[in-house]
Structure 1
Amino acid sequence: MDLLEKIKHAGIVGAGGAGFPTHVKMKSQVEILIINGAECEPLLKTDQYLMRERTEELVQAIEMVQREIGAEKAFLALKKKYGKEIEVLNKTLKNRGSRIALFLMDNFFPAGDEQVLVYEVTGRTVPPGGIPLQAQVVVSNVGTMVNIYEAVQDKPVTDKYVTVLGEVKQPKLLKVPIGTPVKKCIEAAGGAAIEGFCAIMGGPMMGQIMDDFDIGNQVIKKTDGAIIVVPKDQYIVKRKRTPMTHIINQSKSACIQCRFCTDLCPRYLIGHPLRPHKIMGAIATKSIEDEVFNQALICCDCGICELYACPMGLSPRLVNGYIKGELRKKGIAYQGEKGAVVPNETREYRKIPVNRLIARLGLEKYTHQKVGELEELQVKQVTIPLQQHIGAAAVPVVSVGDPVEKGQCIGIVEEGKLGANVHASIRGRIAAIGPSIEIIGEQEVME
């Protein structure tokens, strides 16, 4: 079995959040491989742990992938402030005589955005609406590389590293079986330190928000890297939960066309024709078919425009998301502007410092939380979604009542479809099959 087959069999998808099936992404020949260790979102610490504690495996996986895709150069991009990680990586690279180069970045947001990363490392701009492959680059994540190392050892993706922080009594870095209830992760961090809370799944800028009463229905997936517990009246929660009708009415009446949303937009700054202020100005007077709204299709949803830039408290990102949905319903795809893509000459002066962003988000009290040593969480029951990735859901290959071993394939991607296999994350018995597969641990079955 070659490397791509091992990756496919192991069910590896992008671990950084997007969830694109890795065996498909790696089926290419390019000039440059970039591994994202910048941990784009504020507060997250998972990738730092992997770079620091699983350095040898990480480097070996990058070297294997570099050979597979024929890349002349391989870069591991991380932030300059990661002193310990840089020290350990440099030592490992030197000992191995590796050709991998570290690319050190300033602490700005969104440093880990795929297209921003390509521009930072290579000076090349991915075409608007395009993918890094069009710039002769493949971008992958630190966590994905560790999973590839495991796949070569015939170990599929069954566990996930998750940072749990914010309003919890004992912030933790956990290794948990895929399908572990989010509630169990919060309990492992000592439980919530406040009454009535929300949990942000992922980072504060682009993560999904869930209420405390809904947490029992949510589980850890292959793409989840953090749980941030915050009060229900926290600034981010209130902004992201404003009703869409109210957001649009606000946009129609209160946008002053200051263009801060555009001037600070990361995609605009690398040369993409995305001008959120024009979309905000047009929403009051133009129909959805107007060509100005086509720009919304290339928004990366980073949230700078709504959570940092707008002085009026408006939400260009959410407006863009609404417009994207309406355009896709009509089958309208992005039509790029012709001509060369030219980065904005002021870009270097408009990067958003993470420390300032954290202050704007009201998250300063969590910036120095210590997560301590890694703790492996054992659970008695998991609910494993058959679709944890971009593309089609996996098809079950087990039946209710079947015994399963940890690592056993329980769902496969059908031939010719974009998707990823899923595997049992604990030993036990199949209890239910639907959009997810529920497994009850062996000890629970016996009892």
Structure 2
Amino acid sequence: MQRDARPAGAFEVTHRMVLGLALPMTLGFLTIPLLGITDTAVAGRLGDPAMLAGLAIGAVLFDLIFGSFNFLRASTTALVAQAWGREDRAEQEAVFWRALATAVVCGVAIVLLSPLLLAGGLWIMSPGTETAAATSEWFMIRMLSVPAGLANFAILGYLLGRAQTRIGLFLQVLINSINIVLTILFGLTLGYGIAGIAVATAISEVIGTAAGLYVVLKPFRARNPLDVPGTFAREKLRALFALNGDILIRTFVLIGAFFILTRIGSGFGPVTLAANAVLMNFFMVAGFWLDGLANAAETIIGRAIGATYRPAFERGVWLTGIWSAVLAGFTTLVFLAIGHPLIDFLTTVPEVRLAAYQHLPWAALTALSGFLAFHMDGVYIGATWSHAMRNRMVMAFAGYCLALALLVPSLGNHGLWISLNIFLVLRGVLLLMRLPGLKAGLFTPAPAT
């Protein structure tokens, strides 16, 4: 009989643990699409489809840039969780300082480059004059908060890596609640329109950063990062940059897929583009709902690897996968049941509503088609299998492009949404197929007894 030795950092993975990690962050992440819904609803009530289309294009451009740096959150979670599994408190703090320094440097660089980034984005998207003006107004204000936003990635990653999900929930709710209130105040009540939406987001990001730094740094044993041994050691930085580079490429490909979706949708006219912007909120809700479980997988898998404890790894993969599938099915059913009233809330433009009704089933299906991809992302990030994750993202993207080439010419916007669902399925299946081989070399078998 063979059994795994039980190391000092061993822990049991239960349904209660999985839900205890996932639900707080699920609730926190759900405030993010609620913010997107609020932005869309405010822009949709400005009475000009160009404003809503401009916000849609601006959001895609911003996500293409800002979202590409999500590696700061993901890599921080994985490395902190693994250090936690090893019971190495100094390395946990060192990981945070590296992530925060990277966030500040990258954030300042993005702000300085924002005029060029906007010009390039508008050239690629080729919107109409009024839509381009709305996009520019929103984008340039929104970019001012990028350093704070990237710092929040590092803060949240650290908290998730230590399973401090309730604090993460508090910060997410704080940021997005302030954002929602200020968006309505500035955008509608005070009549600042799309500029008011951007200002609200910038203010909330800065407040969130201040609160997050206070919470994270208060219990640190060393308040000065230079007092933590090896914080900026060359080999540690090299390993961090290699991990971040793989996740960056993977994230860039992912956001590029949504960029292409918006770009093709813009070719169908402003009404279809606006309808797709409304429906993407459904996908965002599904994604952030499932992200809570993906983050639970990151923490559990990273901690299990740090503790070199196979049972926790295997049960963590299984339980987070089960709950992801259950929540995905529930989400799709809810969207199909109440999708029309939600669309009516998001826009008052009759032709945009009609177009959104027609494509609602495809948007609702993204929860089911994408749950495995979200789940596997959590497993791979927690295990720091970034190279394999990057390669399978590129393979899925190739399949997505093929689907677009085959389906869009004949099915139009329906083909666009079908291709998105195919892309999500491919991501999950390709990662799942590679999992057994990677897991086989992860733990050293214990001696037979």
Which structure has more relative contact order (CA 8 Å, sep 6+)? It is 2
Structure in which a larger fraction of residues adopt helix: 2
TM-score (norm 1): 0.26
Structure in which a larger fraction of residues adopt strand: 1
TM-score (norm 2): 0.26
